[in-house]
Amino acid sequence: AQSVTQPDIHITVSEGASLELRCNYSYGATPYLFWYVQSPGQGLQLLLKYFSGDTLVQGIKGFEAEFKRSQSSFNLRKPSVHWSDAAEYFCAVGRTGGGNKLTFGTGTQLKVEL
Amino acid sequence: DAGITQSPRHKVTETGTPVTLRCHQTENHRYMYWYRQDPGHGLRLIHYSYGVKDTDKGEVSDGYSVSRSKTEDFLLTLESATSSQTSVYFCAITGDLATGQYFGPGTRLTVT
């Protein structure tokens, strides 16, 4: 069975500082990997995705993520955080077939200090 | 943004009453999903559909049923609501996993 671990429940960074949110997955084959962001009271918005090709993927809002098969990781990064990036971030893993289901991590809450 | 809406957006109901939540899409996507979101648990899949009248259980399906009689609509029913079903419910859709799932705005359900 596939699973996702986001080891950091809360992270606080200063505006302008760099950010890295960790995501580790468990899956037997090459997974489909996703990062979503959720602002308070809102639905989830897709930031970026990976399923093949270049292991460094670019997403919206200046975010990027790197797939590292040897570490079973898909960490999300941003070089300079803005106050508007404060939100909850979810990593998810999926596989084709069987309903194209996703398994989500428990999320990381990002706070940005001005 | 994907054309996906949920209704109602907020609902308060009493224990033991039936509740139906609706998800409507305008994208003609094959797959539709119902999740619940609770603090510390992320999103957990309740049920999903892979076509009209084709549905299957997710990881937390007990106490919930679903129906899909049209491509665009996916209904989630709590036959007899319990306080443990107080949660935020999200619907999602996808046509192809490579594009990701797209989420509705959510329904906040409170069972008193």
Using pLDDT thresholds of 50, 70 and 90, give the confidence band for residue A48.
Answer: very high
pLDDT tens-digit readout, A54-110: 999 999 999 999 999 999 999 999 999 999 999 999 999 998 777 889 999 999 999
Q: Do B94 and A100 touch (CB under 8 A)?
A: yes
Closest among A87, B95, A102, B94 to B103, alpha carbons compared? B94
Q: Which residues of A touch B103 (CB under 8 A)?
A: 36, 43-45
pLDDT at B97: 87
Q: For tokens 């998810």, what's the residue?
A: A92
Q: Looking at CA atoms only, how far is residue B76 from chain A in angstroms?
A: 17
Residues 4-43 of B with CB under 8 A from A: 31, 33, 40-43
Q: For tokens 């671990």, what's the residue?
A: A5
Q: For chain A, which residues lie within 8 Å of any Cβ of chain B, measuring from their own Cβ?
A: 32, 34, 36, 42-46, 49, 51, 90, 94-96, 99-107
pLDDT at B40: 87
* Neighbour tally for A25: CB within 10 Å: 19
Q: Where does A36-113 have alpha helices with state H?
A: none
Averages of pLDDT over each 10 residues, chain B, 112 residues: 89 97 97 95 95 95 97 97 97 91 96 97
State both tokens at A84. Answer: 């508007």
The residue-averaged pLDDT of A21-37 equals 91
Is the pLDDT at A30 greater than 80, yes or no?
Answer: no
CA dihedral B76, B77, B83, B84 (to 10 degrees): -50
Most A-contacting residue of B4, B101, B107 (CB-CB within 10 A), to test interface: B101
pLDDT at A58: 97
pLDDT at B24: 98
Most A-contacting residue of B33, B34, B43 (CB-CB within 10 A), to test interface: B43
